Amino acid sequence: MQIMAIGDGENDVEMLELASLGVALSNGSKKTKAVANVIGLSNDEDGVADAIYRYAF
């Protein structure tokens, strides 16, 4: 099973580490971006929608 997780806060770090694909939003914390596989757009740029479109479809 493949799981994508998207986050921007330090509370998302463990989720991003456990996911097959961890996407941190560019406005996220340094720690979140450090553990992510990919850094996406910010939430002001519809980063979640972009990540879903880019990696899930």
The whole-number pLDDT of residue 1 equals: 84
Burial of 48 (0-12, 13-18, 19+ CB in 10 A): middle
Q: For residue 43, name the pLDDT band (cuts at 50, 70, 90).
A: very high
SS (H, E, C) 43-57: HHHCHHHHHHHHHHC
Domain segments of the chain: what residues?
A: 4-56
Q: For residue 40, name the pLDDT band (cuts at 50, 70, 90).
A: very high
